[in-house]
Amino acid sequence: MRQLLFALLLSACPPVLPEVDAGPQVNPSFKHAHNDYEHPRPLLDALEAKFESVEADVWLDGSDIGVSHNGAPFKGSLKALYLDPLSDRVTANGGSVHGDGKPFYLWLDLKQGSAALQDLLATQLEGYAFLTRFDDAGVATASAVTVVLTGDDAGKKALVNRSAPRPFIRDSNNFSASDPPADGKWGYYAVNYYSFMQWDGAGTIPTTQRRQLENLINGAHATGRKIRLFSNPDTVSYWTTARDAHADFVGTDNLAGLAAAFTP
């Protein structure tokens, strides 16, 4: 019985990642609004807090695309909550979301894998000129907003296999040091924090955990991809540690708290 318990404890431990030399680090950390639509004013609260990345969960809602965590009732449509307001914002601000020429990210979490949702999503996104376009090799036309497909694995892979140029790119929820280099289909990671980490975000991160976090981030960067961690601790200590380790996206449900922590 004792041996069985010990084996179970070992199997629950995250893997130790290989050492990766960071090299010169230039990656900024973008503030990411996890489940952005749950805030009182979807998108608008994040924009007011100067966030550069938001996440929306999408479902097929009859002949439209609805935004919600669990399906109906929906918070609203993807077009009304995100696509149209972003389009208006880019136009008003001279070609970028915040008027500073910097990129903005819209993560669309596919909650269904249906062909009908894929078809409608591809059709809706194609109608917006402010979205970055990708071909199989990489960026075909850079623009104000990059759509990253996350969620349903089969659905996002099917979408990025459509004809190029495409107004979206996908992530993977799994990371391996042996992953192939990034291309115009797969350019991001969205990885469960506790698949690799044990630190709970309280106090100062232990040295071994800091190195584990750095190896994860550096390993993603070595493939040419950006990385976002989810289910992470939502604390100031975690936010600042992740930023210092050059995580590309630092996620939170606390918009004001993260904005304040990242203010110089």
* Residue-level pLDDT at 197: 98
Q: Residue 127 CA to chain centroid, in angstroms?
A: 22
* Residue-level pLDDT at 20: 81
The span from the CA of 43 to the CA of 206, in Å, is 35
Binned average pLDDT, 10 residues per bin, the chain of 264 residues:
40 78 77 98 98 98 96 97 98 98 97 97 98 98 98 97 98 97 98 98 98 97 97 98 97 98 92
* Residue-level pLDDT at 21: 74
Q: In the chain, what are the domains? A: 28-258 (3.20.20.190)
Q: How many CA atoms lie within 13 A of 42 on its CB side?
A: 24
Sign for the CA dihedral angle at 190, 192, 198, 199 comes to positive
- What pTM, to 2 d.p., does this model score? 0.93
124-138: b (≥16 Cβ within 10 Å) or e: bbeebebbbbbeeee
